[in-house]
Structure 1
Amino acid sequence: MDIMSYLRDRMGKILAIVIGLALAAFIIGEVARTGSSLTQGSRNEIGEVGGEAIGFEQYNKKVETNTNNFLQQSGQAATPQITGYIQETTWNELVSQIILKKEIEKLGIAVGEAETKDMIQGSNPNPQIVQAFGNPQTRELDRSRLNSFLTSLKSAKADDPMKVQWKDFVTQMVQQKRTEKYLALVRNGLYVNSLDAKDDYEAKNKLVNFKYAELSYASLPDAKVTLTDGDYSDYYNKHKSMFKNSVETRSFDYVTFNASPSAEDSVAVKEQVAKLAADFKTAANDSLFVQINADTKAPLTYQRKGQLDPAIDSVMFSAAKGIVYGPYLSNGSYKVAKLVDSRVGPDSVKASHILINPATEGGLDKAQAKADSIKKLISGGASFAELANKYSTDTQSGAKGGDLGTFGRGAMVGPFDEAVFNGKPGDLTTVNTQFGVHIIKIESQKGSSKVVKVAVVDKPLQASSKTQSAAYSKAQGFLASIKGDNYTLESQKQGLRVERATDVTPTANAVTGLDNARDIVRWAYKADIGDVPDQVYTIGSLYVVPRLAEIRPEGYLPVDAVKKQIEVQVRNAVKAKTLTTKFEGALSGASSIDAVAQKIGTNAVPVENIVFANPVLPGLSAEYEVVGTLFGLPVHKLSKPIAGQHGVFVVYAESFTNPPALTNTVNQKQSISQTLLQRADNSLFEALKDKANVKDNRGKFL
């Protein structure tokens, strides 16, 4: 049963083929066999890689699978940010599969039958085989289980789901092995020689002591610098590679109208909870009162100090039974709390259980009946551990005789927690939870402290329809007032703050300031510059009116599109020319760095023990040009002016301290090789991806 469960839940573990992109361990799920839907060639193609299409249905199904696996394994909720991340990693996975498949086939890399058999039954089986058929206690392969499964597989029919799943499972292992071989070929081609090791050693250990004089860019007022189109073009042409857009992006301005609860709304909700507090005091059944009146219908359980809401934690541990406290505001809700009971209970419990799953037994009644039968066997002297190993659907604890170890209050679900902490050592009981029917044996209890059972009734503080309507009306009024290009002017007139979402990609789910902006992004990619939509968008408690501000196409951006982005750098480059001229005058006739510094009205700054590999000047920043010049400069010689990051410098090398001679280059080579290997996979993938002519059309579908 556990083998089938593994094959069902883990089959087709998503391979980490996205080289260097850390696809994350959570992406584990069924993977459609390669080739089935990658060449649909229809209008439903969501993208293309080297002429091979990726279908929307395939992509969407994989995103759904990966999302479900992530939510199950992480326990988190699906936020727009998480959804966007999963969509992106899924896309990268599909792209990488196609790219690598082509490269692997081009090189003729294969995995033969003997090699495949060795991965399953050999002396060093594939880790996935060990995980599927391993002994939970020893974490080693249980060959008897594996052989038993393979024997049963031979007699299974061709269309048996188990056989189909196994075939897919083996296919994935083979694909992974082929990928490993390909990457090994690339990695083995990386070589570090002794000269590389020596250069790296000296870059990290050779020291320089020097002095510098600086004219900072801030010393020349911006108002004295006039920038021309030629200045922008010069900088742009020298740094053109920085302005290549891998995908079209769009930027939009937006104003928001907040429909969060008003003071009037807060008073109304508080009064509603206050009325409930009066009835709560006289309620005969506190649990039923919570179920009927609370928005959050939490079960009543005993909790230790520190587990309650901080707003009531101290109150309830010093109050008398029956006290009703509130209304109080906590986590966006008005609440009223009642102390139902208090007692002294254990701090931790050691327990074992046998879990019976109603889904596999034909219903809760049958599962309960089976649990009662097992309980009778245990009461009659049967081994709890043996029965747990045989019957428990919690195979992890079942393999350990049902042992759950020692745990504190609140570690288990409510009914289970109540049973083990309210019982006594030696008790054998059955409890129903959302996981099934548990046969529980309390082994021991430790510690002793006061615990309380508190009933809480809550009502969320939400905006009333009146508040929402008022905010929406303002948003509609603003939208109606937009005529032509008066968006900014009208915003200022109405006292509205204009925000900007910059360089938004076609698949973005969230942007700066807006957590769930997918609808606005869709609109932006259908709009022209200056357009506003014909509707007000609702995002949480905000009403949003956007305006498309900029379109940056795929490829090299023109200089006009990046002028604002590079304005500071261009201004500094122009300042550098003026400051360099000033330095050249100071260098004329000067024999020392102190004389140069005096001429420009400053002091020479001494610096000690700087290495080439870490070119950070104390109190400033990384100055690559400055430190690079120093290590190529003879001692006791003034440099020419150097345009750096912070200003223009002149340096003077006073002394160099060479490290001890490198006699053994092994460790140095290993260090460099490790760095190369860490970068190689990602660099390789990006190079192959660029060559593959990847077309991403997801923005039209998502």
Structure 2
Amino acid sequence: MGIMSFLRERMGTILVVVIGLALFAFIAGEVITYGRSFMSGDRNTLGEVAGEKIAYEQYMDKVKQNTEMFMQQSGQTSLTPQITDYVQENSWNQAVSQIILKKELEKLGIVVGTDETQSMISGKNVSPQIAQYFTDQKTGQLNREALNNFLKQMQTAKPNDPMTQQWSNLVASLIEGKRSEKYFSLVHNGLYVNSLEATDSYEAKNKLAKFTYVELAYSTIADNKVTISDDDYQTYYNEHKGQFKNPQELRSLEFVSFNASPSKEDTAAIKSQVEKLAADFKASTNDSLFVQINSETKAPLAYQKKGQLDPQLDSVMFTAAPGFVYGPYVSNGSYKLAKLVDSRVGPDSVTARHILISAATAGGIDKAKAKADSLKKLIEGGRPFAELAKNFSEDKQSGEKGGDVGTFGRGAMVPQFEEAAFNGKPGDLKVVESQFGIHLINVLSQKGSSKVVKVATVDKPLVASNKTQSAAYSKAQAFLGNVSGSNFAEEAKKEKLSIRNAEDVAGTASTIPGVESARELVKWAFNKAEKGDVVDQVYTLGDQYIVARVTKIKPAGTLALEDVKDMIKPEVLIQVKAKQFSSKLQSALNGSSSIAQVAQKAGVQAIPVENIVFANPVIPGLSLEYKVIGTVFGMQPNKISKPIEGAHGVYVVSLNSFQNPAPLTNNIREKQQLSQTLLQQADNRLFDALKDKANVKDYRFKFL
């Protein structure tokens, strides 16, 4: 009683001390861990190549550049998770390759001299990367005068001028490209095909074999009739261990999803909401403002030709009168209303030039507009447009060509630029504002004539209501509360949920089968989970709530037998069948003097084939059989082989004869073909070897 009384009286003090010590231990541990990580640079190291670190910022700069390049080339304004994965993986491979190549270049002392650099920039054979910016559109030839003027500008440009930095980056990339070209030339020049190799290749393609075979096909025994022992698995694994090298850690998940897509009630409510807007939309006198206020997508209104609208609108808008409202209709996951604002006959394409004045450079949009108006007056007074474009336009690419932006169709330019170019007439000078600044546009010519329409569209996405989302989330949360690593399948079966699997997921993956935008789930699986762990929360992925469990971890390096057992089972089955068939055929061989006798004892037919070449090891009607054809071309006529374990079955063969080709009198063509094959394979093989030697370490899953 005395002890209990003592504890009750002092429990508050004891708890404070205990909790304080626990907190101190926790915080101290975190500080030490953080400090160790920070001091070692791990918090910013995305990977390592031959001991050289790849910084997170360095990698993300490359991803940003590649993303912008992809969007510019493809015309897309956003990227899908799959394309994002592709860009990130491509950027990683570029970073790894650059480090590997840089080390090889430094080791060999490969450099590009001043004269070589000058030759690439302004010599007889200007680099195509530079030439593309200074090519005369009319002649297709390099405009030397424009190039030389630009180079003079670069000599006097300020160091902080963005154009100076871009030019320096371009020249640096050309130099690195030239160094790489020299390196690969060294490798390629070291490749050689001798006369013996040429002769062997010629005979492999032209020497004909005629033989007879007996086969016991693996398909004649059902898989469920074969028993595989642990020794069978181990034997196959030991013989093929080199095939099970895993370049990066992979993890497998099983998961259930709770659908939070819009219900029938949600869809009906959104449709009703759009229907109520229809009358106001029809009566609206400012359709652009109406779209900005009521539409989820704030797209500017622009004239479009037939084929550019939603298919449902194409059939009605080109015959309707202005003010006509169509819908509600469903398109791209939204309920929509469309109103015909205007229709007219306009040109199909326009040729124009412009001078761009940036608001930032001019000191504000008003000053930029005033400058454009001043330039317009100078042009109207007789000053050449091309001269002013070269001196004042901030679009340097077109400015060097006198402001010429070429010929373009509808949809190629920003709406404000397009409106001015297509609605004006040849010779017009127009000042318009866009997100890029103020444009002084000169319409040079217009071609073609077709009907175009301006359609205003209001959209409301089909999304689940809070009620629908809450119901699905509650079910997912309840399931998560009931599961553990051992009862996942049992609980899923009880709730009548289908378990889906995501096998061999990489640490940088952003999708898993059937689920896009799964990046956060993958990060959990790699950063916080061990084998058998269930998620620590319900993950919201698109319109699904996901509860998942890690089922398998395959570490980088040579995988253990257990990690590949399911994968190799089909091959092990074949190996077990092959042992049985080899024994059967060996018994048939004993005492047999001909292939016909072997076939009779084995209970199968002897099948003759002819015109088989070593370079194409296919048995007609079956499959590629490298071992069988290789054995045939190493035999003497009228001899019978031992059992051969092939891809389709186990064989015994008897060579009848060879038909030799005419002697190779000129091996030059054969050498050229072999050399070309070597060159095509050399670069990839070289990089694979260098990459393997570089001991590449990938930590991206911790960051992305």
Question: Post-superposition shift, 1:333?
Answer: 0.5
Q: From the superposition, tell whether residues 350 and 246 of structure 1 become closer, same or farther in structure 2 (CA, over 3 Å).
A: closer
Deviations 1:655-687 (CA, angstroms, capped at 9, x unpaired): 544444333322322222222223222222222
Partner of 1:674: 676
Q: From the superposition, tell whether residues 380 and 640 of structure 1 become closer, same or farther in structure 2 (CA, over 3 Å).
A: same
Q: Are 1:571 and 2:570 an aligned pair? A: no
Q: Which amino acid aligns with 1:693?
A: N
Question: Post-superposition shift, 1:410?
Answer: 3.0
Aligned partner of residue 418 in structure 1, secondary structure: helix
Q: Are 1:139 and 2:138 an aligned pair? A: no
Partner of 2:562: 560
Hey, what's the Cα distance between the residues in 2 that align with 1:447 and 1:126? 37
Q: From the superposition, tell whether residues 617 and 514 of structure 1 become closer, same or farther in structure 2 (CA, over 3 Å).
A: farther
Moved more, 108-117 or 189-198: 108-117
Q: From the superposition, tell whether residues 115 and 463 of structure 1 become closer, same or farther in structure 2 (CA, over 3 Å).
A: same
Aligned partner of residue 437 in structure 1, secondary structure: strand
Q: Are 1:152 and 2:127 an aligned pair? A: no
Partner of 1:422: 423
Moved more, 602-611 or 686-695: 602-611
Deviations 1:238-267 (CA, angstroms, capped at 9, x unpaired): 111011122222212111112111111111
Do 2:638 and 2:654's aligned partners in 1 also have CA atoms closer than 8 Å? yes
Question: Post-superposition shift, 1:342?
Answer: 2.8
Matched ranges for 1:504-519 at <5 A: 504-519=505-520
Partner of 2:643: 641
Partner of 1:336: 337
Deviations 1:409-468 (CA, angstroms, capped at 9, x unpaired): 333332333333333344333333333333333344333333322222111100111111
Moved more, 237-246 or 603-612: 603-612
Question: Post-superposition shift, 1:517?
Answer: 2.3
Q: From the superposition, tell whether residues 615 and 139 of structure 1 become closer, same or farther in structure 2 (CA, over 3 Å).
A: farther
Partner of 1:48: 48
Do 1:133 and 1:146's aligned partners in 2 also have CA atoms closer than 8 Å? no
Partner of 1:292: 293
Deviations 1:520-577 (CA, angstroms, capped at 9, x unpaired): 2222223221110221111111111111111122222222221111011001111112
Moved more, 494-503 or 231-240: 494-503
Hey, what's the Cα distance between the residues in 1 that align with 2:471 and 2:502? 26
Q: Are 1:541 and 2:540 an aligned pair? A: no
Hey, what's the Cα distance between the residues in 2 that align with 1:318 and 1:174? 59
Partner of 2:5: none
Do 1:110 and 1:178's aligned partners in 2 also have CA atoms closer than 8 Å? yes
Do 1:133 and 1:145's aligned partners in 2 also have CA atoms closer than 8 Å? no
Q: Which amino acid aligns with 1:570?
A: V
Moved more, 242-251 or 430-439: 430-439
Q: From the superposition, tell whether residues 626 and 432 of structure 1 become closer, same or farther in structure 2 (CA, over 3 Å).
A: same
Do 2:213 and 2:653's aligned partners in 1 also have CA atoms closer than 8 Å? yes
Q: From the superposition, tell whether residues 595 and 429 of structure 1 become closer, same or farther in structure 2 (CA, over 3 Å).
A: farther
Partner of 1:224: 225
Deviations 1:187-231 (CA, angstroms, capped at 9, x unpaired): 322221111222223333444455544332121022221111111
Hey, what's the Cα distance between the residues in 2 that align with 1:266 and 1:160? 54
Aligned partner of residue 545 in structure 1, secondary structure: strand
Hey, what's the Cα distance between the residues in 1 that align with 2:175 and 2:308? 49
Question: Post-superposition shift, 1:358?
Answer: 3.0
Q: Which amino acid aligns with 2:355?
A: I
Hey, what's the Cα distance between the residues in 2 that align with 1:121 and 1:665? 43
Question: Post-superposition shift, 1:496?
Answer: 1.6
Q: Which runs of 5+ in 1 are unaligned?
A: 1-38
Deviations 1:608-650 (CA, angstroms, capped at 9, x unpaired): 5443333344444322222322333445554433222222234
Deviations 1:289-326 (CA, angstroms, capped at 9, x unpaired): 22221112223333222111012211222334432221
Partner of 2:447: 446
Partner of 2:700: 698
Moved more, 88-97 or 313-322: 88-97
Deviations 1:154-208 (CA, angstroms, capped at 9, x unpaired): xx78x99888877766655554444433333333222211112222233334444
Question: Post-superposition shift, 1:69?
Answer: 4.5
Q: Are 1:280 and 2:245 an aligned pair? A: no
Q: Are 1:550 and 2:549 an aligned pair? A: no
Moved more, 141-150 or 186-195: 141-150
Q: Are 1:80 and 2:84 an aligned pair? A: no
Q: From the superposition, tell whether residues 618 and 375 of structure 1 become closer, same or farther in structure 2 (CA, over 3 Å).
A: farther
Matched ranges for 1:471-486 at <5 A: 471-486=472-487
Do 2:301 and 2:456's aligned partners in 1 also have CA atoms closer than 8 Å? yes
Hey, what's the Cα distance between the residues in 2 that align with 1:315 and 1:255? 44
Matched ranges for 1:242-641 at <5 A: 242-525=243-526, 526-587=528-589, 597=599, 600=602, 602-604=604-606, 607=609, 609-635=611-637, 637-641=639-643
Do 2:347 and 2:447's aligned partners in 1 also have CA atoms closer than 8 Å? yes
Do 1:41 and 1:53's aligned partners in 2 also have CA atoms closer than 8 Å? no
Q: Which amino acid aligns with 2:156?
A: S
Hey, what's the Cα distance between the residues in 2 that align with 1:409 and 1:318? 20
Q: Which runs of 5+ in 2 are unaligned?
A: 1-37
Aligned partner of residue 349 in structure 1, secondary structure: strand
What RMSD in Å do the two structures reach over aligned CA positions?
3.3
Aligned partner of residue 512 in structure 1, secondary structure: coil
Moved more, 274-283 or 110-119: 110-119
Partner of 2:4: none
Q: Which amino acid aligns with 2:300?
A: P
Question: Post-superposition shift, 1:135?
Answer: 6.8
Q: Normalising by structure 1, what TM-score? A: 0.84
Aligned partner of residue 318 in structure 1, secondary structure: coil
Q: Which amino acid aligns with 1:673?
A: S
Do 1:371 and 1:439's aligned partners in 2 also have CA atoms closer than 8 Å? yes
- How many residue pairs get aligned? The number is 661
Hey, what's the Cα distance between the residues in 2 that align with 1:503 and 1:301? 47
Q: From the superposition, tell whether residues 266 and 124 of structure 1 become closer, same or farther in structure 2 (CA, over 3 Å).
A: same
Q: Which amino acid aligns with 1:257?
A: F
Hey, what's the Cα distance between the residues in 2 that align with 1:280 and 1:599? 88
Q: Which amino acid aligns with 1:675?
A: T
Hey, what's the Cα distance between the residues in 1 that align with 2:429 and 2:171? 44
Moved more, 251-260 or 613-622: 613-622
Q: From the superposition, tell whether residues 605 and 109 of structure 1 become closer, same or farther in structure 2 (CA, over 3 Å).
A: same
Hey, what's the Cα distance between the residues in 2 that align with 1:303 and 1:167? 41
Q: Are 1:184 and 2:181 an aligned pair? A: no
Question: Post-superposition shift, 1:237?
Answer: 1.2
Q: Which amino acid aligns with 2:683?
A: D
Q: From the superposition, tell whether residues 348 and 150 of structure 1 become closer, same or farther in structure 2 (CA, over 3 Å).
A: closer
Partner of 1:18: none
Q: Are 1:661 and 2:660 an aligned pair? A: no
Hey, what's the Cα distance between the residues in 2 that align with 1:329 and 1:40? 56
Deviations 1:85-122 (CA, angstroms, capped at 9, x unpaired): 34334333443444344433333444455655665565
Question: Post-superposition shift, 1:586?
Answer: 4.5
Q: Normalising by structure 2, what TM-score? A: 0.84
Report % sequence identity: 61
Moved more, 329-338 or 44-53: 44-53
Do 1:537 and 1:543's aligned partners in 2 also have CA atoms closer than 8 Å? yes
Q: Which amino acid aligns with 2:617?
A: P
Structure with greater helix share of residues = 2
Question: Post-superposition shift, 1:597?
Answer: 5.0
Deviations 1:107-152 (CA, angstroms, capped at 9, x unpaired): 3444455655665565556555656777775236556337625753
Matched ranges for 1:189-200 at <5 A: 189-200=190-201
Do 1:270 and 1:334's aligned partners in 2 also have CA atoms closer than 8 Å? yes
Q: From the superposition, tell whether residues 404 and 564 of structure 1 become closer, same or farther in structure 2 (CA, over 3 Å).
A: same
Aligned partner of residue 253 in structure 1, secondary structure: strand
Q: From the superposition, tell whether residues 127 and 443 of structure 1 become closer, same or farther in structure 2 (CA, over 3 Å).
A: closer
Q: Which amino acid aligns with 1:139?
A: L
